[in-house]
Amino acid sequence: MALGGNFLQSLKDYDFRDWIRIIVIVCGYILMRQQFVQWRTRRYQRQQEEEDDVLKQEAHEEAKRVALEKMESKVKGTSAKSSGASWGWGNTAKERFEKRRKYIEKQAMRKAEMAQNEVDIDSDDEINELLH
């Protein structure tokens, strides 16, 4: 009873101004948190799109460089089969494989983070349902 009595006494100590202040703070938090989560999601997506554009540009430049090297080797009259030093398609294949692997890992990380963000939003919805 002493615990319940102390709790009720502490509630009686708040006046109307204190209750209004608490209500405004809690409602403001609920509204602003949803807006912040949406803003953070948009910002993260924009950042990922910029990174994807950079990766695509680098891959395009690499493809141009490889095509130019192939054209130069054909112009010189040497083929990959005739000289052992110019034979190295395995290294470029390994490099392309590593780039693709890193890109796929980034995609998987991004999907995991997006799923985590959705879980955060869902938990807010549950809290809102309980408050209403």
Residue 1 DSSP class: -
> What residues does each domain of the chain span?
16-40+92-132
Q: What are 33's two structure tokens?
A: 């948190």
When mean pLDDT is compared across 49-63, 65-79, 88-102, the lowest value belongs to 65-79
Q: Answer whether 0.95 is exceeded by the pTM.
A: no
Residue 128's pLDDT band, with cuts at 50, 70 and 90, is: confident
Mean pLDDT of 37-43: 94
Phi, then psi, of 43 in degrees rounded to 5: -65, -40
Mean pLDDT of 120-132: 68
User: pLDDT value at position 70?
Assistant: 83
Q: Dump pLDDT digits (tens) for 58-87.
A: 988 888 888 888 888 777 765 445 444 555
9, pLDDT greater than 70: yes
Q: What's the angle, vertex CA 130, arms to CA 44 and CA 34, rounded to 5?
A: 20
**Cα–Cα distance, 61 to 101 (Å, whole number):** 19
